[in-house]
Amino acid sequence: MIKINLLPKEARKRVGFVQQIVLMSLMLLVTFVGIGFYWSYLNGVIEQKNQEIANTQARLQELQKIIDEINKFEAQRVALEQKLAVIAKLEKEQKLPVRMLDEVYKTLEDDLWLTSFTQQGDALAINGSALSNPVVSDYMRNLQASKFFKDVELVVSQSRLVGTQTIRDFQLKMALVAPPDLTANQAAPQETAGQ
């Protein structure tokens, strides 16, 4: 079957033009509605991401407070460990002079007395007097045999007359050695045994 359009040429152009305008309007309307929906969707995504960012920042602030507290406790722990180390060192160093003087006393010989005892770091100097050179020699051997002293040397030995008695004045120098077994638990029984 053959269709023939009997409308005049201008009317045919108007009908096609109106259809094109309606079609274009509908396409524009659909495009604007689609753009509107897409814009609304993107705004929702942006708001959701902004909310996530705000939540993350709030969580970061909470975590930062926890990190600050952890750092504070860590600093306190380090300070406490340093204090404990100082206390332990002081306790160890407190026992050493007592034990050292006890050892000096134990090594003394009859007919010998000390006039001065000085310590500078690990260097010790002892001045004293004795009735004879063999007494000074025995005292030096006793000091050298002790676990607290090493490198015992006679610096000066000279005689002087006191009344009718000849006295030997001497000066010794030596190095102090802290025995490794000198701890709080082991020092007390050794001191008790020496009494």
pLDDT tens for 106-125 read 888 888 889 998 888 888 89
Model confidence, pTM: 0.47
In this prediction, residue 12 carries a pLDDT of 58
Let me know if 144 is exposed, middle or buried by CB neighbors in 10 A (0-12, 13-18, 19+).
middle
How many beta carbons lie within 10 A of that of residue 131, not counting itself? 16
Contact between residue 130 and residue 117 where contact means Cβ atoms under 8 Å apart: no
Residue 171 has pLDDT above 80, yes or no: yes
Contact between residue 80 and residue 93 where contact means Cβ atoms under 8 Å apart: no
pLDDT tens digit string along 120-150?
888 889 999 998 888 989 988 998 888 888 8
Tokens 């010790």, residue located: 124
**Angle, CA of 99, 102 and 105, to the nearest 5°:** 155
Contact between residue 111 and residue 166 where contact means Cβ atoms under 8 Å apart: no
The CA–CA distances, whole Å, from 172 to 107, 124, 132, 151 equal: 14, 8, 15, 10
Distance CA 149, CA 95 (A): 16
Tokens 């050493």, residue located: 96
In this prediction, residue 8 carries a pLDDT of 62
